[in-house]
Amino acid sequence: MPVANYEQYCQMLDKAKKGGFAYPAINVTSTSTANAAIKAFADKKCDGIVQVSTGGGEFASGQGVKDKALGAISLAQHVHLVAEKYDILIALHTDHCHPQYVDSFMIPLIEETEKRRAIGQPNLFNSHMFDGSELPLEENIKISKELLERCAKSEIILEVETGVVGGEEDGVNNEDTPADKLYTTPEEMVQIARELGPIGKFMYAATFGNVHGVYKPGNVKLRPEILSQGQKAVEKELGVDHTHYLVFHGGSGSDLEDIHETLNYGVIKMNVDTDTQYAYTRPVVNHMMTNYDQVLKVEGEVGSKKHYDPRTWMKLAETCMTERIHASISDLKAEGTSLLHN
């Protein structure tokens, strides 16, 4: 099927919220990693979200170009083409656009969708994330409202964040963030719902102790009750229809029990990046070390083309990444939930 349209994407999010499951949102940096993600969703009959960060877009554009928006457009076009060959829905999203990259990353991508819509083509991306968590709350909300107003005109969903996800990802380091900044308050969740809700549909990355990066199980101390308290405050102030579509960032190392608890509080999307990076790399390392004398021309020998052909080890990498995404789909209770299979 083609990439999901706006109505289908809204149905996906509504189904997850009502059904107590979440979609893995897989960060991709190449056609290879995008292929691994799409296949994983299809294998599990699960609709899914493929997303591109500023760093992923820059990488995809090539070292001679390093254009964040151009690389994201290239990957999105690839996903549009490949998704048509599968029987599930894929939504395209951009991840963590910090304020300094709005003009060079998010705006060009919104403009690309506006151009496409003007000639009767579908949206390039279904949703974008503005991460204004480093700003004072009022400034964060002001910019979020401006972006959502523009996005809503083109049926683009905006993701926003308040509070700070700790750790380091994609070149942004929040490892020294004060502890109180790692937890979104109920008052913030109410304010976000009140100010953004009338403008258009949005997703919300509220923080509850989540941390980007690599951690052993049990080392990340989450407080899912933060999400519960915030959603109850929103329901009390504005009504149940205004509770948030929540996004879980920094899930690596989280206990499955905590992950499942968040699904009860409206988490409908969980970003997956660190774990799939490792899954993609691990079989490549094994291949190179096992076939050292085949991938290198050692002591005047010619090596083995079938071993150093990048397609050989990239297939292994894709397969392992796909298998890791299978696990995320199961962990988030999303298997068999595709709108096209129900």
> Which residues form the catalytic set?
95
CB within 8 Å of 156: residues ≥ 6 apart = 6, 110, 113, 123, 125, 126, 127, 128
Tokens of 196: 């953004």
- Whether the CB-CB separation of 233 and 256 falls below 8 Å is answered with no
- Whether the CB-CB separation of 52 and 72 falls below 8 Å is answered with yes
334, amino acid identity: A
CA distance 132 to 96: 9
Query: Considering only CA atoms, which of 169, 203, 151, 144 is closest in space to residue 56?
Result: 169
**CA-only gyration radius of the chain, Å:** 20
In 3-state terms, what secondary structure has residue 205? strand
CA distance 51 to 269: 11
CA distance 265 to 138: 25
Query: Considering only CA atoms, which of 142, 119, 117, 250 is closest in space to residue 192?
Result: 142
Say how many C-beta atoms besides its own lie within 10 A of residue 150's C-beta: 18
- Whether the CB-CB separation of 318 and 281 falls below 8 Å is answered with no
Residue 107, CA distances (Å) to 53, 99, 312 in order: 14, 11, 38
